[in-house]
A and B are shown apart, each in its own frame.
Chain A
Amino acid sequence: MKAVLTVVGKDAVGILAKVSTECAKYNVNILDVSQSILQDMFCMIMIGDVDKLNVPFGEFSDAMAKMGDEINMSIHVMHEDLFNSMHRI
């Protein structure tokens, strides 16, 4: 089962490091990362394998959102099924 993490906010040093450290804490294996800077906005999409997650999915999602608030970034974690069902027939 894969989760999609989106991280959006003002660019700063160490965002990728902080987000991936937090993911590691919850045993999430990062499979893919794509990031871009639009003007000075940082926009990153990560695909993570959450099969071996060590807490319930909702708790992980809350923890990431809370961490996002601490570093002034907006972080959302969503199940990949949502995107697959909306954009694939």
Chain B
Amino acid sequence: MLETRDILETISMIQDENLDIRTVTMGISLLDCIDSNIDVACQNIYNKITNKAKNLVSVCQGIEKELGIPIINKRISVTPIAMIAAATHSKDVVKFALTLEKAARAVGVNFIGGYSALVQKGFAAGDKELIESIPEALSVTDHVCSSVNIGSTKTGINMDAVAMMGKVVRRAAELTADRQCIGAAKLVVFCNAPEDNPFMAGAFHGPGEPDCVINVGVSGPGVVRAALARPEAQSLDLSGVADLIKRTAFKITRMGQLVAMRASERLGVQFGIVDLSLAPTPAVGDSVAHILEEIGLESVGACGTTACLAMLNDAVKKGGVMATSHVGGLSGAFIPVTEDAGMIDAARSGALTIEKLEAMTAVCSVGLDMINIPGDTPSEVISALIADEAAIGMVNSKTTAVRVIPAIGLEVGEELDFGGLLGSGPVMPISGYSPLKFINRGGRIPAPLQSLKN
């Protein structure tokens, strides 16, 4: 029998603590759409996406109504377009981005990800053309997201790709300078990119995935913070805090599992994974930074931040793992600056710096995410920042990523405002010393040893 206390707890999680399903993402393989004629390939892609995902939005809306739980985004991820573009030998790969945009609009999803290339060990046919087209593709579309995997623990880091990506990130911001540089906010540079990630901007449908699959990303930082803010939680030691986070993460993830199973059943599509994530939004009370502050820091960015985040990230995974049959994606606590009210405040006050964020990425689920950097930052500095972040991921066998937005025309302290889930935030200072010679060397950083760990 249902207990009143449980019912009220669930309702207050949803109504007062911003609990929601962040995204139901349908992964669609485009491998069977390949054609040497780019126009035929684009038509195949449009047909496949609009066929597979035609009911995605309506089914999700039905589940929202029935369970009384908001599903904020419905998204699609596709096979990295570089693999499809390779067969066409075309220079005009932006056509694929326009096709994805058209398909996204036709089925009514919020984002479509997969304008991507996997170049961790080197460039195959189609990869360079696609990477070079990313800035234009992101400036002529609204829903398309792009990602490039430039390194992995097994392959090392492709520094030629890193050098390219510094320029691409900058160019993406420049081409959209009249729109808050939004292009760069839709572009992620990965090391160890997961192939089943439902979260944007880094979602793509890996080549090892099935033809069509449903992946679900949960949210819920507000629920964890609220649990830690209760009077009875004030006297807990850190073992107690970790246990409380685990219990809360379990409940959040169960909800994700339920939604994933329903969606997969009703769409007749295989269930892939639940991504056990604490994904913040700019809304008050939905912040990962505020969880760390609730644990006992005056502000995120203080000494102790990395330790608290490590515990939070681990406890979220431990709690979530038992609640779902398949875990995947990025799973863990996200620390995007502009998407998190607590991070924004700490960045404004100077309590949080890029250097501290970099340390935090060694223990969180992703990386340097949604950080505004000065508009005059040279591309080699962005490349070097990507290399630093990729090195952390490569050595620690974890996913890391960089999504920075060069705020064209703006200086430290001025702000970009993207609106919606992407939020807003100040331009943060970044080291001005030059890594130019290092970046110009090119080549590959060899894969690290997996033994002799210290």
| A contact set with B: CB distance below 8 Å | 4, 6, 34, 43, 45, 47, 57-58, 61-62, 76-87
B68 touches A83 (CB 8 A): no
Complex Cα gap A41–B255 (Å):
29
6 contacts across the A-B interface (CB closer than 8 A): A61-B68, A78-B10, A85-B255, A86-B10, A87-B9, A87-B10
Which of the residues B9, B67, B251 comes within 8 Å of A78, measured between beta carbons?
B67
Give the size of the chain B interface in residues (CB under 8 angstroms).
Answer: 21
Complex Cα gap A47–B7 (Å):
11
Please encode chain B, from 3 to 23, with 1 for each CB lying within 8 Å of some chain A CB and 0 for all others.
Answer: 110111111000100000000
Dominant secondary structure at the A interface: helix
A85 touches B6 (CB 8 A): no
Q: Which residues in chain B, 24-40, are within 8 Å of chain A measured between CB atoms?
A: none
A87 touches B68 (CB 8 A): no
A6 touches B67 (CB 8 A): no
A58 touches B66 (CB 8 A): yes
A77 cross-chain contacts in B, Cβ below 8 A: 68
A84 to chain B, nearest CB (A): 7
A85 touches B258 (CB 8 A): yes
B4 to chain A, nearest CB (A): 6
Which of the residues B7, B15, B69, B258 comes within 8 Å of A45, measured between beta carbons?
B7
Q: Is B62 an interface residue (CB 8 A)?
A: yes
Complex Cα gap A61–B8 (Å):
18
A82 touches B258 (CB 8 A): yes
Given contacts A6-B11, A80-B2, contact A85 B257 (CB under 8 A): yes
Q: Which residues in chain B, 314-341, are within 8 Å of chain A measured between CB atoms?
A: none
Which of the residues A4, A6, A58, A84 comes within 8 Å of B65, measured between beta carbons?
A58
Complex Cα gap A43–B11 (Å):
12
Q: Is B254 an interface residue (CB 8 A)?
A: yes
A55 to chain B, nearest CB (A): 12
Q: Which chain A residue lies CB-closest to B62?
A: A58
Complex Cα gap A79–B10 (Å):
12
Please encode chain B, from 30 to 68, with 1 for each CB lying within 8 Å of some chain A CB and 0 for all others.
Answer: 000000000000000000000000000000001001111
A87 cross-chain contacts in B, Cβ below 8 A: 2-3, 6, 9-10, 251
B247 to chain A, nearest CB (A): 11
B238 to chain A, nearest CB (A): 25
Complex Cα gap A1–B167 (Å):
56
Q: Which residues in chain B, 223-263, are within 8 Å of chain A measured between CB atoms?
A: 251, 254-255, 257-258
Q: Which chain B residue lies CB-closest to A36?
A: B4
Q: Which chain A residue lies CB-closest to B69?
A: A82
B237 to chain A, nearest CB (A): 26
B255 touches A76 (CB 8 A): no
B255 cross-chain contacts in A, Cβ below 8 A: 82, 85-86
A4 touches B2 (CB 8 A): yes
Given contacts A84-B2, A86-B254, A87-B251, contact A61 B65 (CB under 8 A): yes
A47 touches B258 (CB 8 A): no
A45 cross-chain contacts in B, Cβ below 8 A: 4, 7-8
Please encode chain B, from 66 to 84, with 1 for each CB lying within 8 Å of some chain A CB and 0 for all others.
Answer: 1111000000000000000
